Amino acid sequence: MGTEAMFGITGKDFVIIAADCQAAFSIIRIKNDADKIWQVGNMLFACSGPPADTANFMEFIEKNIKLHELRTGLPLSTKAAASFTRNELAHALRKGPFQTDLLVAGIDADGPGLYFMDYLASCEKVNKAAHGYGAMFTLGLLDRYWKPDLTVLEAIDIIKKCIKELETRFIVDLGNFKIK
């Protein structure tokens, strides 16, 4: 768990993910315009951890999902992509682990899906999720304000409250956030 924050929330027909834009090494900010949310097919993958691990792992996942689509002619569902990603994390765990935490989001025929995944390859479908030190400040807000019939405007308001809470209470300045 690094000095990062990424969180996601589902509504009745959408998913929103937000992530800070800083890339850091130890206590040094390398850059403040990093995009930690990857578009893979029709899904979003938010990935946090050491910049080398996140870039390497997400490029691997992105290329393999695209390869599957080219071979079969069918796109992976969000659940299938999350399962594939979890399986690859589990395999890597026994060889050379990636220190990456992920949120996988997408909308399929059965509605929106948000999957919480950590570097130990645990995976769970959730309605709201957060990773990093920022999760300590945002999970309470997500629990308090989330409801099953959430509208897009209400979800954006919750995301803004989470970012405001981090700016107010977290000792580390995370800078800007990207929301997709």
Averaged pLDDT in 10-residue chunks for the chain of 180 residues: 85 94 82 91 93 92 95 94 95 89 94 95 95 90 94 95 90 83
Q: How far apart are CA 59 and CA 65, in angstroms?
A: 10
pLDDT tens-digit profile of 31-62?
888 899 999 999 999 999 888 899 999 999 99
pTM for the model stands at 0.93
Q: What's the CA gap between 120 and 130, in Å, rounded?
A: 16
The pLDDT, as a whole number, for residue 86 is: 96
- Measured CA to CA, the distance from residue 113 to residue 107 in angstroms comes to 6
Quick one: pLDDT at residue 1? 57
Phi-psi region of 26 (alpha: psi -120 to 50; beta: other; left: phi over 0): left
